[in-house]
Amino acid sequence: MSPGVRRFDVAVVGGGSAGLAAAITAARSGARTLLIERHGFTGGMGTASLVHSFCGLYLLRDEPGAVLANPGFSAEIAERMIAATGIGPLRVGRVDVLPQHPVDFVRIADEMIAAEPTLELMLHAEASAVERDAEGWLLKIASRSGAVEIFASTLVDASGDAMVAAWLGEGFTMAAATQLQRPAYVFGVHNPSVMGDAMRLRTSGLLVEGVRSGIIPSTALGLSFRESGRLGEIFGTIDLTGGDTAGDFDPLDPVCLGKLEVEGRRIAATTVEWLAGRDDTWKGSYISHWPVRAGIRESRRWLGEAVLTGADVLAGKRFEDEIALATWPMEFRENAKGPKLRFPENNRPCGIPAGCLKPRGMDRLFVGGRCISADHDAQASIRVMGTCFATGEAAGKMAVDALG
Ligand SMILES: Cc1cc2nc3c(=O)[nH]c(=O)nc-3n(C[C@H](O)[C@H](O)[C@H](O)COP(=O)(O)OP(=O)(O)OC[C@H]3O[C@@H](n4cnc5c(N)ncnc54)[C@H](O)[C@@H]3O)c2cc1C
């Protein structure tokens, strides 16, 4: 290692919900922490992909009233979000979700990061390789000033895609292309009307009419619109197949990702144009913003000392060394025809054992977020942001504890 290499106690790859929680938690203990994010803001899918609800923050209950599942970072961010938007948890069937606005999420994250003197944030920086030595990790980062190297005693992989495992060439698994949860495209729309139930129903009819007349693609039938909480703004979400056939989807392949982005924009643009020209409630509507990137629900998963399974989630299994509770039902989106939910017995929350955050056979390395060690079915529960905050926070604590 060259003498000029800067040294940190903890480095966190990826500033999504998990990475943000991990970095802030590590820094709050006084550790010199580096957070590396390839975009110009943190928040991951919750900002760059415009995913606009925090799920998994609350316990599943038949009774009304939202009860937080995990104390700590998840509870703190929920409180900050409610203060920013003025909107509390909403009951949808048996679950409570917290609507969140990506613009507020970015600002909240900026403020939380700025409050930590031992936390350094690198934006527009993409970690690209790691080397291991006896004391820790040498990380290579691609930046506008060229390649940068830093040393960290402990490392947290919060990249969503288990990038550290990919660089090491081992320790991960991934579902077959036909089984992977489908990607989706979320976009912002300026719409002068208030989106009520009547308009929603009318919109469904218009989409069917547009598809039947061959003006809009059939994929538009799966489009859902939801108010953003701000006057005149709604979000549209389209589930995509990911390729010409289900087997073509590869969430890690840049060519496949390129096609997804273009396809998402094409469907969104044709559909909003059709609606705006067809109906008074849509008159004057236009696409106000694209996401930075299409939403990816599942890719690589780490193989950890423990592997959470779908059976664990269904049974609401608890573990002595659990670090957080997973409360979201398993939400399968293995095709672009909408979600299939599987709820745990008696609404029981499932513990996430510490071993799911510890890659097998590797010390000084921890993982948080949607790529923790879980099988495909359990990932369908633990990938939601409420749970990612909690696993990220735990990974940050474990990274600090491993400093000794
Ligand atoms: C369409 C869609 C709808 C969803 N709906 C909901 C919902 O309603 N509620 C909910 O709670 N969850 C929802 N989810 C799931 C949830 O948004 C994600 O699973 C969750 O945000 C994942 O968080 P994460 O921190 O693990 O990963 P990500 O949010 O993917 O964050 C990873 C971060 O790491 C960065 N990164 C990756 N590699 C590098 C690198 N090498 N160097 C630097 N930076 C890097 C990325 O830019 C990104 O910011 C949805 C997901 C999708 C796709």
Residue with CA nearest ligand 1 atom 45: 14
Residue with CA nearest ligand 1 atom 37: 159
Confidence tier at 222 by pLDDT (50, 70, 90): confident
Measure Cα distances from 26 to 118, 166, 373 in Å. 9, 24, 21
Apex CA 328: angle with CA 325 and CA 334, to 5°? 130
Are 238 and 185 in contact by the 8 Å Cβ rule? The answer is yes
Q: Which residue has the tokens 């990911």?
A: 242
Q: What CATH number is associated with residue 349?
A: 3.50.50.60
Q: Which of these three, 289, 317, 349, is where a domain ends?
A: 289
Clarify whether residues 55 and 131 are in a common domain. yes
pLDDT above 90 covers a percentage of the chain that reads 90
Are 375 and 309 in contact by the 8 Å Cβ rule? The answer is yes
Give dist(CA 291, CA 185) in Å, integer: 8
Clarify whether residues 158 and 188 are in a common domain. no
Clarify whether residues 43 and 136 are in a common domain. yes
CB within 8 A of 362, min separation 6: which ones?
Answer: 168, 171
CA neighbor of 316 nearest in space, from 357, 342, 347: 347
Atom of ligand 1 nearest to the CA of 52: 8
Give dist(CA 379, CA 316) in Å, integer: 14
- The response to whether residue 264 sits with its C-beta less than 6 Å from ligand 1 reads no
* Digit-coded pLDDT (tens) for 243-282: 888 889 999 999 999 999 999 999 999 999 999 999 899 9
CA neighbor of 357 nearest in space, from 384, 323, 326: 323
Give dist(CA 46, CA 299) in Å, integer: 17
* Digit-coded pLDDT (tens) for 8-66: 999 999 999 999 999 999 999 999 999 999 999 999 999 999 999 999 999 999 998 99
Clarify whether residues 278 and 322 are in a common domain. no
pLDDT of residue 94: 87
Owning domain of residue 52: 6-175+299-399
Give dist(CA 258, CA 251) in Å, integer: 10
- The response to whether residue 152 sits with its C-beta less than 6 Å from ligand 1 reads no
Considering the entire predicted model, what is its pTM? Answer: 0.98
The answer as to whether 149 is a domain residue is: yes
Kindly tell me if the per-residue pLDDT of 1 is higher than 90: no
CA neighbor of 237 nearest in space, from 255, 221, 257: 221
- Total number of domains in the chain: 2
Atom of ligand 1 nearest to the CA of 392: 25
Clarify whether residues 62 and 110 are in a common domain. yes
Give dist(CA 37, CA 48) in Å, integer: 12
The answer as to whether 1 is a domain residue is: no
Provide the 10 A C-beta neighbour count for residue 72: 16
* Digit-coded pLDDT (tens) for 90-144: 999 889 999 999 999 999 999 999 999 999 999 999 999 999 988 999 999 999 9
Clarify whether residues 33 and 155 are in a common domain. yes
Clarify whether residues 91 and 215 are in a common domain. no
Atom of ligand 1 nearest to the CA of 55: 11
Are 22 and 399 in contact by the 8 Å Cβ rule? The answer is yes
Clarify whether residues 250 and 312 are in a common domain. no
Largest CA distance in the chain: 67
- Please state the φ and ψ torsions of residue 226, each to the nearest 5 degrees: -140, 140
The encoded tokens of residue 277 equal: 């020209």
Residue with CA nearest ligand 1 atom 27: 160
The answer as to whether 404 is a domain residue is: no
Q: Which of these three, 256, 289, 322, is where a domain ends?
A: 289
- The response to whether residue 385 sits with its C-beta less than 6 Å from ligand 1 reads yes
The answer as to whether 339 is a domain residue is: yes
* Digit-coded pLDDT (tens) for 196-213: 788 888 999 999 999 999
* Digit-coded pLDDT (tens) for 299-324: 999 999 999 999 999 999 999 999 99
Clarify whether residues 139 and 89 are in a common domain. yes
Q: Which of these three, 254, 289, 324, is where a domain ends?
A: 289
Confidence tier at 404 by pLDDT (50, 70, 90): confident
pLDDT of residue 197: 82
Apex CA 119: angle with CA 117 and CA 125, to 5°? 140
- The response to whether residue 14 sits with its C-beta less than 6 Å from ligand 1 reads yes
Clarify whether residues 276 and 235 are in a common domain. yes
CA neighbor of 287 nearest in space, from 143, 138, 187, 357: 187
Are 264 and 187 in contact by the 8 Å Cβ rule? The answer is yes
Give the mean pLDDT of 183-190.
97
The answer as to whether 294 is a domain residue is: no
Confidence tier at 76 by pLDDT (50, 70, 90): very high
Clarify whether residues 98 and 24 are in a common domain. yes
Apex CA 220: angle with CA 215 and CA 223, to 5°? 145
Confidence tier at 171 by pLDDT (50, 70, 90): very high
pLDDT above 70 covers a percentage of the chain that reads 100
Residue 315: half-sphere exposure toward Cβ, Cα within 13 Å: 9
Apex CA 387: angle with CA 64 and CA 333, to 5°? 85
Residue 329: half-sphere exposure toward Cβ, Cα within 13 Å: 20
Which mutation among 45, 182, 226, 341 tests ligand 1's pocket best, with the greatest number of atoms within 8 A of CB? 45
- The response to whether residue 57 sits with its C-beta less than 6 Å from ligand 1 reads no
Clarify whether residues 115 and 264 are in a common domain. no
* Digit-coded pLDDT (tens) for 325-381: 999 999 999 988 889 999 999 999 999 999 999 999 999 999 999 999 999 999 999
The encoded tokens of residue 55 equal: 């799920």
The answer as to whether 120 is a domain residue is: yes
- Strands 53-54 and 95-99, by their bridges, are antiparallel
Give dist(CA 403, CA 398) in Å, integer: 9
Average pLDDT of the residues of the chain: 96
- 3-class DSSP state for residue 10? strand
